[in-house]
Structure 1
Amino acid sequence: MQRVVFLVPLLVVGSTWTHQMDPVMENSPATPMENFDFEQFTGRWYEMAVLSTCPHYMQRKKRHPVIMALDLKHVPTQHNFTMTSSTFKNGTCGETLTVYSLTSTPGRFFHRVARFGADVDSFVTHTNYDEYALMLQLSTEQPSGNKTTTVKLYGRTMSVSAPVLDQFKALIRRHEMSEDAAIMNQHIGDCFPGKQMMEESANHQAFVPQISRQNITTEDKQSDV
């Protein structure tokens, strides 16, 4: 099986800026969790569920609601970390590499997506490090100034408990979005180099059915902001 790596062009903020100010939204309405420990946060996560105010992002997710494996690695000398997301694209296991800058606020990260001209501020609003993490992303497109709010649920495994889903839905409501529109990603196979795609049985359910599901199609998945 082929392994494809997709590189996302990003403007990485230098360490001087990182220590002087937090980019994008200095008066941001969001705050990360207290006493955040970044080193405990690194490692393997799975993107379990998402909701965004961006209609184009939601359309892409609805066409391909598949669990992505996320590998976070710290680069201490550069004051940033990389996130490698792995998922299937037309039956081929592909990877997308994104570089995030650390900010002076623990639990708050920044990256810029040049393709969309978007500055993205990410917040870990809550995590227990070994089970789940709730992510809030606030992005601003330049020069239009259009703003997007995205809420994501990460899990250390490909299943989450009902109490965790309740926290995810509470975060959605806090930002005045409808929990019914949230997309629950599904596991369709193991995405590892050298292995063929292994389809899950039709009866397999990775989540409790508390948020609406979407059908999986074979259409291409575009890179996400």
Structure 2
Amino acid sequence: MVDLRSGTMRLYVFALLLFLLVLGVFESVEGRRTRFKPKPKEKKTEKSVEEITPAKDININQIGGKWYLLTVASRCQHLLEKGFKVESTIINLTPPVSPRSPLKVSTFTKLNYQCWEIKQNYETTNSTGRFLLKGNMPVMNVEILIIDTDYSSYAILLYKRMKKITMKLYGRSTQVPEAIQDKYEELARKHNLGLDLNFQFPDYGFCESADKEHTLVMT
């Protein structure tokens, strides 16, 4: 039996979960492609990473609480090559208590049938709705932007690292109106992430808690 309390093993699991968490890919449950639609002609409307801006007038206090991860749009090589297998995922957001405080993020998901909790701090920036998840070195930093939200039913977040983009659709419940799904897919297409690069996450089997031995504090 592997002793998860050993420093070496916990470091390994830490690195694996970090890799999977950033990409939004967790193996075990077979993922689902987004609903089929005739593929529209791609338009050359993709913005450069530097031009992407968060939504205007974001009220960060209203973004707090529980969110279900519904769909991920990504060119992640791991996701494309290893099969479309993802795990149901929940995040809990705690808004900053002061202008310089971070947005606290607690993620619950599974790895090999075991529930894990991953705690992270998204550092605030001078731009409301834009956050920074610091890596071991600057080149590994992840910039997070709140692209669109109504606070009560959906939120669309964009993650970028090394000029590569991933988009995620979150919901207050496991379902969002079709109009919201359409909006998300249109935004993804503008960043050259078509339906063939969109993956739906399971709407069942969620973790709500994890014990101390399976909690990773990444702050």
TM-score, normalization: structure 2? 0.68
Q: Say yes or no: does 1:94 pair with 2:113.
A: no
Candidates 92, 99, 112, aligned match of 1:71: 92
Candidates 163, 166, 176, aligned match of 1:150: 166
The amino acid that maps onto 2:115 is C
Give the match for residue 134 of structure 2: 112
Are 2:89 and 2:206, in contact at CA under 8 Å, matched by a contact in 1? no
Deviations along 1:181-215, whole A, 9 cap, x unmatched? 20000134131348xxxxxxxxxxxxxxxxxxxxx
Q: How far off is 1:58 after superposition?
A: 4.8
Q: CA, structure 1 residues 61+135, in 2 after alignment: closer, same or farther (shift >3 Å)?
A: farther
Deviations along 1:13-55, whole A, 9 cap, x unmatched? xxxxxxxxxxxxxx82111111110000111111110011231
Give the match for residue 176 of structure 1: 192
Look up the SS of the partner of 1:76 in the other structure. coil
The amino acid that maps onto 2:90 is A
Aligned positions, number: 169
Distance in 2 between residues matched to 1:73 and 1:60, nearest whole Å: 33
Q: CA, structure 1 residues 152+87, in 2 after alignment: closer, same or farther (shift >3 Å)?
A: same
The amino acid that maps onto 1:42 is G
TM-score, normalization: structure 1? 0.66
Are 1:54 and 1:149, in contact at CA under 8 Å, matched by a contact in 2? no
Q: CA, structure 1 residues 58+160, in 2 after alignment: closer, same or farther (shift >3 Å)?
A: farther
**Larger proportion of helix:** 2
Candidates 136, 139, 143, aligned match of 1:121: 143
Q: Say yes or no: does 1:190 pair with 2:206.
A: yes
Q: How far off is 1:61 after superposition?
A: 7.9
Distance in 1 between residues matched to 2:170 and 2:54, nearest whole Å: 15
Deviations along 1:90-144, whole A, 9 cap, x unmatched? 222111111110111111111123289511111111100000011111112xxxx
Distance in 1 between residues matched to 2:95 and 2:191, nearest whole Å: 30
Q: CA, structure 1 residues 61+108, in 2 after alignment: closer, same or farther (shift >3 Å)?
A: farther
The amino acid that maps onto 1:139 is R
How much is the aligned-residue C-alpha RMSD, in angstroms?
Answer: 2.9
Are 2:104 and 2:119, in contact at CA under 8 Å, matched by a contact in 1? yes
Give the match for residue 207 of structure 1: none
Give the match for residue 155 of structure 2: 133
Q: How far off is 1:159 after superposition?
A: 0.9
Look up the SS of the partner of 2:106 in the other structure. strand
